[in-house]
Structure 1
Amino acid sequence: MAINLSGESVLILGAGVTGIAVARSLSAKGASILFADDQVENVEGFKVSKSDQIQVDGLSFIVISPGWKESHPLIVKAQAAGIRLVNEIDLAWSFRAELVPGQKWIALTGTNGKTTTVEMAAAMLRAGGVSAIACGNVGTTVIESVESPEKYEVLVLELSSFQLHWLREASFVAAAILNIAEDHLDWHGTFTEYARVKGSILDRASTGVFNSSDLEVVNQAAHWQGRKVFFSLETPAPGEIGIVEELLVDRAFVSDPQEAAMLAEIVDVKPTVPHNVANALAAAGLVRALGVSPEAVRSALQNFSLGRHRIEEVANINGISWVNDSKATNPHATVASLNSALSSIWIAGGLAKGAEMQELIAKCKSRIKVAILIGADRELIADELRSQAPEIEIVYVDAPGTYQRGGRDNSLMEAVVKAAAERAKTGDRVLLAPACASMDQFISYEPSAHR
């Protein structure tokens, strides 16, 4: 796409973070911008209209923000009129050719662990002397990263299923799939379609990095013809990355596949829990595809710490540990969170997004002391607890009458904390790992974001 967009008329679907970043970029290149958004009424410097008020005649093209379905009436109307549909990532890719022609992209998707892993990968690249940034579904948007004055040598993209659904042009030196478990089925319709979209990240990749312990990831890899590198917590075969005794080792990106390169010690990965070690192996696979040394991988891991809201201990009072894992917004992530300790007073609930809770409770019931449940779909969790573990106490906490989503009233979480404190004793862990999305109660997975 040309950098000079003078005289072009562009409609952007969605006035969220991605849409606003795109609007600023295209406006600076001379385009005339209009937003379609049914929730947002004002964006400084731009016109916003309801989607049913938009006329597509005369539009040069439409930029679709993540989360907009093909069945939306405005998209159906645009397709019928032959209007070109573009997503932010492909748009950034087209600008990259002129702005940073030597820039390489690597990418990662999965149901859980994406943000941690792309941040690990970016840290490994930087430790190896490569200017890099994690972007996409985390932190900075891709278009802002491409246009950054830093002129990054490598972008590490975290891609959600929503972003992958619309992706058509961007390509990657390497792409990884961490895991594929039930999530966003309310949007994709079926698990098969969700898995297919996750697997589509391979369509534009030269090297694929796969979790061999995840059956659906292995299934997606089976249908792909590129270079395959598998990782697991087991001893690696030639061409794989894995664990030997207490070491992370690489038998994929070495000159002699009968040899192994030591990447790090297990204790270099913090917290040293299985799913986080797997994240480190996936990140190492991505950066080793770009030639990053084992020494840089180890140095990055030794200095890396998880971001906020990921198994984050926020307080330890009277011997009671209070842990925030609000990023665990689906059952698969919550299994890992609950399994990181022997016993928890568990805070959960919200919007299940079509996911079921049977497997979660089956795997974790021995690690739940009390379940404190909130939100719209809490009965899905309660029903499974009653069926599989009736001895576990279930506590319902409703939003007080004064509580308003998006307001400054913190009474809902205060009531949750009070209920947990009444039941916690010295040595207990209170864990917020909702297994659901939070949009029914808060404006973000961050516990303070409703303020």
Structure 2
Amino acid sequence: MDAEEVTESYEGRRVVVAGLGVSGTAAARVLAGRGAHVTVVDGRDDDASRERAAELAPLGVTARLGDADTLPEGTQLVVTSPGWKPDVPLLAAAAAAGIEIYGEVELAWRLRPADAAPWLALTGTNGKTTCVRMLTCILAAAGHDAVAVGNVGTPIVEAVLEKHDVLAVELSSYQLHWSSTLRPLASAVLNVAPDHIDWHGTFDAYAEAKGRIFTPGSVAVVNADDPVSTRLGPPDAKAFTLGVPAPGQLGVVEELLVDRAFVDDPRTSAAELAELGDVRPFAPHNVANALAAAALARAFGVPPEAVREGLRSFVPDPHRIAHVATVAEVDYVDDSKATNPHAAASSLAACRSAVWIAGGLLKGADVDDLVASCADRLRAVVLIGRDRARIAEALARHAPDVPVVDVPDTDTGAMDRVVTRAAALARPGDTVLLAPAGASFDMFTSYGARGDAFAEAVRRLVARA
């Protein structure tokens, strides 16, 4: 859209909002405020849904709970929550009728005022939230009013209507699938590995959704160490690497993070951004996150010294390579956020010798490459969750000499037994690592609940020691 076309009118339009979660509720509220006739549809009819519906009712929003399949008559537009698959009956019916469908992120872009804050956007299989929070800290260190939005933090449809200098936008593959006109100032793809195949159908479709973040006129940033990220970017993309950077790249020289992309003469000069010790928690994939965040900030004109200050002020979110305790010279680390094989591989790469706690819902992802790549780092493996047999099969193929313990329990005390078994297998200098490579919903309400259960079990182990 051109600048004069930025703000789209919704006055009088009959809009269906699919999903009554955080993004759907925010979208319904904003659309009602713009004069749309809004109906919110959700298959759930529980206390939380009814409470949200009651909050929206005074705005004239109609809620239809318990029936998410039928498209309301007269619908002119559907704004869908990101997790809704294109083949669900309501969305399929809308598509068949030629009704436009897009998501809350696309709605936010179309609603932004002419003087709206620019977007610095990023996506990737892993590291998105860490990277966007690093980016927000760097922008704040440079004196900018910045807020993290999108797949994290404030609903983006609300943030675009507020006064900010810049938005740090985390985008999932789902959100990008339902977006078409976004034009960030700069955008990055951190990495791409198999994930959410059950939603997208194929890896190529998943990767294509990630690549939609790159748009004409934007500064593109790719991961030079990730072939898919590189392939998705345009020929003139900037890049980051864990190696020594070439002109047009950010990278690592000895103990320093340096920029040879956003300097006056990339061929002959470089800007020192930070030291490796400024990256917390320290792990190779977190250094990559820091470089990506720095690249987006530098594209916005942030000075080098703000990168260092922002990384030093960054406080990691829970359940991301979080050290819980050391017992009998064994470290216990919670990386419950490692919900796919790519994330688990990064976590294991930071360990010299690990007793790996793995399992959960693999979401269609293959684990053979993961197991093959980390086999020489495994002291032992403790398996949990619904898809643990698939990991056991991969271990039998690629790490047949590694001891494997299967814990089929799913009750509330299961994690205590898991930690006890892991402790018995560990040796001084090892890391007992919860990096499941799968989602948590077969046993827990969230990856956070899974990580909390692990940490609590470790604390009980400490108390017994």
Shared fold (TM-score, shorter chain, > 0.5):
yes
Separation of aligned partners in 2, 1:414 and 1:37: 37
Aligned pairs for 1:76-91 (under 5 A) are 76-91=92-107
Instruction: Please state whether the residue corresponding to 1:67 is helix, strand or coil.
Output: coil
Separation of aligned partners in 2, 1:192 and 1:344: 32
| Aligned length, in residue pairs | 436
Instruction: Please state whether the residue corresponding to 1:446 is helix, strand or coil.
Output: helix
Identity of aligned residues (%): 47
Question: Is 2:424 the counterpart of 1:412?
Answer: no
Question: What is the root-mean-square deviation in Å for CA atoms of aligned residues?
Answer: 2.2
Change (3 A) 1:356 1:176: same
Q: Please name the residue that 2:169 is paired with.
A: 157
| Aligned residue type for 2:86 | E
Q: Please name the residue that 2:405 is paired with.
A: 395
| Aligned residue type for 2:95 | Q
| Aligned residue type for 1:25 | V
Task: Return 434-443 or 138-147, whichever deviates more.
Answer: 138-147
Separation of aligned partners in 2, 1:59 and 1:163: 22
Q: Please name the residue that 1:256 is paired with.
A: 265
Aligned pairs for 1:176-255 (under 5 A) are 176-203=188-215, 206-221=218-233, 224=234, 227-255=236-264
| Aligned residue type for 1:387 | R
* Structure 2: gaps (5+ residues): 1-5, 57-62, 454-465
Question: Is 2:430 the counterpart of 1:428?
Answer: yes
Q: Please name the residue that 1:267 is paired with.
A: 277
Change (3 A) 1:193 1:303: same
Separation of aligned partners in 1, 2:337 and 2:172: 14
Residues 363-402 of structure 1, C-alpha deviations (whole Å, 9 max, x = no match): 11111112111112111110011122122121111235xx
Instruction: Please state whether the residue corresponding to 1:341 is helix, strand or coil.
Output: coil
Residues 96 and 146, structure 1, Cα contact 8 Å, conserved in 2: yes
| Aligned residue type for 2:228 | E
Change (3 A) 1:53 1:299: closer
Change (3 A) 1:20 1:52: closer
| Aligned residue type for 1:216 | V
Separation of aligned partners in 2, 1:384 and 1:169: 42
Separation of aligned partners in 1, 2:326 and 2:38: 50
Instruction: Please state whether the residue corresponding to 1:135 is helix, strand or coil.
Output: strand
State which of 4, 25, 31 in structure 2 corresponds to 1:26: 31
Task: Return 418-427 or 308-317, whichever deviates more.
Answer: 418-427
Q: Please name the residue that 1:439 is paired with.
A: 441
Question: Is 2:395 the counterpart of 1:385?
Answer: yes
Offset at residue 449 of structure 1 (A): 8.5
Residues 170 and 204, structure 1, Cα contact 8 Å, conserved in 2: no
* Structure 1: gaps (5+ residues): 404-409
Separation of aligned partners in 2, 1:425 and 1:265: 32
Offset at residue 179 of structure 1 (A): 0.8
Separation of aligned partners in 2, 1:83 and 1:289: 37
Question: Is 2:99 the counterpart of 1:71?
Answer: no
Residues 95-144 of structure 1, C-alpha deviations (whole Å, 9 max, x = no match): 2216xx24110100111111111111111111111111111112222113
